[in-house]
Amino acid sequence: MDSIWIKGGKRLEGKIPISGAKNAALTLLPCALLTSDKLTLRNLPRLADVDSFGHLLNGLGASTAIEGVKKGEVGRRMTLHAAEIESTVAPYDMVRKMRASVLVLGPMLARAGEATVSLPGGCAIGDRPIDLHLKALEAMGAEIELAAGYVKASAPKGRLPGGDYSFPVVSVGATENALMAAVLATGRTQLFNAAREPEIADLCNLLVAMGAKIDGIGSAHLIIDGVEGLNGTTYDVMPDRIEAGSYACAAAITGGSLELVGARLDDMRAIFTALSHAGLMLEFCENSIRVTADTRLKPLALSTSPFPGFPTDMQAQFMAMLALADGDSFLEETIFENRYMHVPELRRMGADIDIHGRSAIVHGVKGLTGATVMATDLRASMSLILAGLAAEGETEVLRVYHLDRGYERLEEKLSAVGATIERRSAG
């Protein structure tokens, strides 16, 4: 099993290209099921989750052809073609690998009139039920049955009629599934209190490019008028705001200066506001954002919340960064329970952190010390990488298969800006 070895204490400086967004890519891929035409996605990150989703789509009848990076492009391109949906069953052995697999439910139901999808697995950062997905689909006319660990959904007359649904709490995945189901309905669907994350807007923009009719993009009120069919298209995956935020924290924790090429301000205002309050200097260029740390970090008080608030996917990285701040920081995790599993590992490196339920107090220390630590989930693994970059001595991060789910070419990107880091294989 691979690990990441780091010799800390190096100031990072240079440019880091930001890859296509994992969370957007996993939402755009199932759109291939909505049309018999070809769909080509560009700027696609090379990640384990993307590959797993491709295999899932293969099992449903979609072909996938991957090309390397072409001149003038940043990431790979994948052409998907679901001329026919050969199976409407997404089995447990595929879906258990990642929760995003449940996003085939809406598009299969919309196009084929039925779908059977295993209840999802995924990382252990708390209970994330899919009840809101199912309630939204029921409001649009779907009949839902839960049996033997599977969701069986059907449209009584072959196509959903559409309908209105107000989410009791904001849910990104449920909004995405409902959107994809609604675009081929026979009538109008309205989604109230819909998620507003940039990845939702990216999904809407792709669907519109395929011929869907969607109003209210970027707002909490989405209006979808169903169409008879969708066409194929070529579309660029948005840059990964969480990857960009993570590397911004790398500049901060090492006292460095990094230019995040491709990062977009509008996707990351809460992140950059927090970095500014921590004392970072920010320079906004035409196609990049430079983050520079020239003084000791200031403590922060942060609470995670749905977009446009501070993202839960950045909480662990900021905690690592604030472990070296000049004072006490307060963090509150409002989205997921069990998302402080990285804290014991950070403590092994000398961090001083108190946990009280969903709140954490991070007492800034003068320095961290390298240690052997174990990643517990995707973002936790990045927090340990960040701590290792700043720590005195050597750090080895185990179980980095979590990391490979969300960060493309991490060792290569960090090495290019001055880090001493390498991947090591056991045995």
Q: Say if residue 131 carries a ligand binding annotation.
A: yes
Specify the DSSP element, H or E, that contains 241: helix 241-253
Confirm if 244 and 260 have CB atoms less than 8 A apart: yes
Same domain as 411, residue 268 = yes
Q: What is the pLDDT of residue 427?
A: 59
| Angle made by CA atoms 392, 301, 171, in degrees to the nearest 5 | 105
pTM: 0.93
According to the model, what pLDDT value does residue 148 have?
84
Task: Report CA dihedral (130, 134, 135, 137) to the nearest 10 degrees.
Answer: 140
**294 and 386 part of one domain:** yes
Note whether 9 and 130 are same-domain residues.
no
Final residue of a domain: which of 219, 236, 253?
236
Q: Do 230 and 319 reside in the same domain of the chain?
A: no
Which residue in the list 123, 204, 249, 285 is annotated as catalytic?
A: 123
Residues 212 and 270 in one domain: no
Q: Which segments in the chain show pLDDT lower than 70?
A: 68-74, 120-128, 427
Quote the pLDDT of residue 125. 35
* Claim to verify: residue 92 and residue 158 sit in the same structural domain: yes
- Domains contained in the chain, number: 2
Contact by Cβ (8 Å): 6, 395: yes
Last residue of a domain, one of 236, 265, 286: 236
CATH of the domain at 284: 3.65.10.10
397 vs 406: CA distance, rounded Å = 16
pLDDT tens for each residue of 241-268: 999 999 999 999 999 999 999 999 999 9
Residue in 34, 76, 31 with CA at minimum distance from that of residue 53 = 31
- The answer to whether 22 is a known ligand-binding residue is yes
Can you give the length of the chain in residues? 427
Q: Which of 181, 207, 236 is the last residue of a domain?
A: 236
For the chain, report the end-to-end CA distance as a whole number of angstroms: 8
- Indicate if 213 and 69 belong to the same structural domain: yes
Based on the fold, state whether residues 372 and 249 are members of the same structural domain: yes
321 and 408 together in one domain: yes
128 carries a ligand binding annotation: yes
Please confirm, yes or no, whether 123 is among the known catalytic residues.
Answer: yes
Q: What is the pLDDT of residue 72?
A: 54
**Same domain, residue pair 109 and 200:** yes
132 is an annotated ligand-binding site residue: yes
Tell me the pLDDT tens digit for each residue of 11-66. 999 999 999 999 999 999 999 999 999 999 999 999 988 999 999 999 999 999 98
Residue 335 in marked binding region: yes
Residue 178's closest CA among 126, 122, 131, 211? 131
In this structure, the answer to whether residues 272 and 285 fall within a common structural domain is yes
Q: 194 near 172, Cβ under 8 Å?
A: no
- The answer to whether 94 and 59 are in contact (CB under 8 A) is yes
Nearest-angstrom CA–CA distance, 403 and 406: 6
What is the reported pLDDT for 330? 98
What domain range is 296 assigned to?
Answer: 2-19+239-425
